[in-house]
Structure 1
Amino acid sequence: MNTFAADDAAVGALRSAFHGEVIGPDDESYEHHRRVWNGSIDRKPGLIARCADPTDVVNAVRFGRENSLLTAVRSGGHSFPGLSVCDDGLVIDLRPMDGIRVDPENRTVRAQAGVLLGELDQVTQQFGLAVPAGIVTHTGLAGLTLGGGIGWIMRKYGLTIDQLISVRMVTADGDTVTASAEENPDMFWGVRGGGGNFGIVTDFEFHLNPLGPQVMAGTVYWPVEQAVPVLRFYRDWIAGCPDELMTIVALRRAPATPAVPAELAGQRLIGIAGCYAGSVSEGQTALQALKSFGSPVLDFCAPKPYLEHQQSFDPSFRPGRWYYVRSCDVAELTDDVIDIIAEYGRRILSPITSLALWQLGGAVARVGEDETAFNGRGAGHSFNINGNSETAEGFDHEREWARDFWTALKPYHTSVYVNFLMEEGESRIEQAYGPEKYRRLKTLKRTYDPTNFFRLNQNVRPG
């Protein structure tokens, strides 16, 4: 039964003031716009406010508050637990706000909150520049940034938040404020890792960094039966690698695509993906040991446009599939951790279940731990354990695989990346930030959102 709290007169007033679209359940586009990336999430909001500009965001926030509506905020809609949509309440959809403006002389870019990573890359790469941001191009820039932002060039240029200059945002009171190192610095500290707890960011300004357009990048694969020697080699190989090199370990079944020989399709593989944020010739030298280790069955590591490499994981995370994730950071790849990885690689059943094991360090670790709300800069690796299926069929099995894998690693857990959390409760959110930062975030929340209006997120309740 629909329990949407706002009456027709209030909705009509919102529509008349709105520059974008206000979509209800009876509108033709409702079914399309209520859907999010994770197909396992099936929620039906009472109203979707698709904002055309910051004024729309202000009006939508005030409408939500005045009508006591449960309110979700959506940029790209990539939240694993589906926190960008809700039942019966209001969705403030920022996706139409997709403006991007590059200042090549000062190496800065302004991007609105509805921008996707691929859109940002397409514009900035025209100038041979980039913001460190993610590995799947249809991810929303806003959610990725507010949680920290890990990606292919972070070991050279830091997290996405480490290149953030300022934000414009709408608070829970419907006011518009700027946060930067000079203006509202407490808020600026909080939005760099604290998620959407303090307001809706409508505009971001970033430093840009030289990159590409060609990079040395791609994945080398071996049979999963060779996972232990591959991972031991990998551990030793990255111990002295330059900041320009970023790597991700992947466990998966080989997809049935034209690039994969038919006899390999469906086989369980372990891969090492790399991206060198420097010259192609230096990258070829840095990645040669990886390409020549053992007897790889697939080698996609070669010079290519950065834009092409950024899209390489897109087919593995198509919208509409059923996604479940468990995550943790670990300090190092001990022999025991390697054995666990190998064991669960052999157990992969679904063709789209996978592990992405991120290498951290480099520039990420050189930012002071107290400078931003993001926690875990000193971690060695971050596990993103994906138990996925095409539909509901088999989903329970894949979730159990992910949970069991995560549990087996529990003795080695340190921190956890907040953007990789499901709805796991307050204790896990506190673990994502650590006790001291969590207390500071709660104080900040009390200042900017004392009624916890923005609570559909990895929620830090007012303290």
Structure 2
Amino acid sequence: MPRHAGRITPAAIKAKLPDGTSPHDLRHHYASVLLAAGESVVSGYLRELTEKAIQTLLRFIPDMPSTASGVGLQQMHGVASRVAPSSTAFPHRAEQYDFLILSQWPDAADSQRNIEWTRALFDAMQPHLEDAVYVNNLGDEGAGRVRAAYGVNYPRLAAVKKTYDPDNLFRANQNIAPLTDLPGGEHDR
């Protein structure tokens, strides 16, 4: 049993503890982590698993530079896809796949090759992906991607944030900023 088991551990420390999916001896580009400053992410929603999307995956996966890496397609269907988008904060309630590239490797000398492969696969998959992302797959990607994660619900969530956290105290992780009033009676969106 790990030393930390059974104790209350602050979230910041807990996030750094090893687990089976993210060993500390590997370099990672997980989910939507930025591959380089200013670049976009490696996660998104695939509405349909088309022949072209499958062919794109089959073209890249055999050349995956690290055996520790992987490509995931988590299917959303059934009841989860039948909930109205405005019923919860999570709006992406359609029959679809959460597509993510988990790129990890042990040797720093292989970083460029792994990052380039990951970026190339994600770029090649762009025509097949929605302009949306699962919030738990986001890295530090900026307000635009946070808005994409909450979609049509973002303005409503920003209004709730203005009511209950107007000073934006709870702003870590993927922040929804409080709705602010702009000159002329308009609101930011």
TM-score range, shorter chain: 0.7 to 0.9
Q: Which residue of 2 aligns with 1:74?
A: 12
Contact 1:357 1:384 in 2 (8 A): yes
Q: Which residue of 1 aligns with 2:185?
A: none
| CA distance in 2 between partners of 1:452 and 1:379 (Å) | 34
Higher relative contact order (CA 8 A, sep 6+): 2
Q: Which residue of 2 aligns with 1:351?
A: 67
Give how far 1:411 is off.
1.5
| CA distance in 2 between partners of 1:389 and 1:330 (Å) | 26
Pick one of 363, 384, 395 that aligns with 2:79: 363
Contact 2:69 2:102 in 1 (8 A): yes
Q: Which residue of 2 aligns with 1:376?
A: 92
Q: Which residue of 2 aligns with 1:410?
A: 126
Which sits farther off after the overlay, 393-402 or 338-347? 393-402
Q: 1:400 to 1:321 in 2, by over 3 A?
A: same
Q: Which residue of 1 aligns with 2:53?
A: 337
Q: Which residue of 2 aligns with 1:429?
A: 146
Give how far 1:75 is off.
7.3
Structure showing greater Rg: 1
Could you list the structure 1 runs, at least 4 aligned residues long, displaced by more than 3 angstroms after superposition: 73-76
Q: 1:353 to 1:52 in 2, by over 3 A?
A: closer
Give how far 1:333 is off.
0.8
Pick one of 133, 137, 142 that aligns with 1:420: 137
Contact 2:85 2:91 in 1 (8 A): yes
Deviations 1:329-372 (A, max 9, x none): 01111111011110110220112111111111012112222211
| CA distance in 2 between partners of 1:370 and 1:401 (Å) | 37
Contact 1:323 1:387 in 2 (8 A): yes
Give how far 1:319 is off.
3.6
Give how far 1:74 is off.
3.2
Q: Which residue of 2 aligns with 1:126?
A: none
> Higher helix share goes to which structure?
2
| CA distance in 2 between partners of 1:416 and 1:335 (Å) | 22
Where do 1:152-171 residues align within 5 Å? none
| CA distance in 2 between partners of 1:400 and 1:353 (Å) | 13
| CA distance in 1 between partners of 2:23 and 2:59 (Å) | 27
Aligned pairs, number? 162
Scaled by the length of structure 1, what TM-score is found?
0.32
Pick one of 385, 388, 392 that aligns with 2:104: 388
| CA distance in 2 between partners of 1:446 and 1:374 (Å) | 19
| CA distance in 2 between partners of 1:393 and 1:450 (Å) | 46
| CA distance in 2 between partners of 1:360 and 1:446 (Å) | 31
Contact 2:75 2:95 in 1 (8 A): no
Q: Which residue of 1 aligns with 2:186?
A: none
The secondary structure found in structure 2 opposite 1:386 is strand
Give how far 1:399 is off.
2.1
Amino acid at match of 2:164: Y
1:450 aligns with 2:166: yes
| CA distance in 2 between partners of 1:451 and 1:392 (Å) | 41
The secondary structure found in structure 2 opposite 1:381 is strand
Q: 1:371 to 1:392 in 2, by over 3 A?
A: same
Contact 2:46 2:96 in 1 (8 A): yes
| CA distance in 2 between partners of 1:445 and 1:412 (Å) | 33
The secondary structure found in structure 2 opposite 1:349 is coil
Contact 1:416 1:431 in 2 (8 A): yes
> Higher strand share goes to which structure?
1
Give how far 1:320 is off.
4.3
Identity value in percent: 31
| CA distance in 2 between partners of 1:421 and 1:379 (Å) | 21
Unaligned runs of 5+ in 1: 1-32, 34-50, 58-72, 79-94, 96-136, 139-313
| CA distance in 2 between partners of 1:76 and 1:52 (Å) | 9
The secondary structure found in structure 1 opposite 2:85 is coil
| CA distance in 2 between partners of 1:391 and 1:445 (Å) | 43
Aligned-residue RMSD, C-alpha: 2.6
1:398 aligns with 2:114: yes
Where do 1:178-189 residues align within 5 Å? none
Q: Which residue of 2 aligns with 1:44?
A: none
Unaligned runs of 5+ in 2: 32-41, 180-189
Give how far 1:462 is off.
1.4
| CA distance in 2 between partners of 1:365 and 1:427 (Å) | 24
Give how far 1:396 is off.
2.9
Contact 1:353 1:398 in 2 (8 A): no
